[in-house]
Amino acid sequence: MSIITVWVDDLLLFASDDEHMKIMKNNISSLWTATDLGKPSKIIGIEITVNNDSVTMSQQKYLETILRKEGMENTNPVSMPLNPNMKLEPNLDDNEPN
The CA distance from 27 to 35, in Å, is: 13
Q: 39-95, pLDDT tens digit by residue?
A: 888 888 889 898 888 888 899 988 899 999 999 999 887 777 778 788 888 877 777
Q: Which one is predicted more confidently, 43 or 98?
A: 43
Q: 35 burial class (0-12, 13-18, 19+ CB within 10 angstroms)?
A: exposed
Q: How high is the pLDDT of residue 50?
A: 84
**DSSP symbol at 69:** H
SS3 per residue for 12-61: EEEECCHHHHHHHHHHHHHHCCCCCCCCCCEECCEEEEECCCCEEEECHH
Res 25 pLDDT > 80: yes
Helix, coil or strand: residue 8: coil
User: pTM for the whole thing?
Assistant: 0.54
Res 98 pLDDT > 70: no
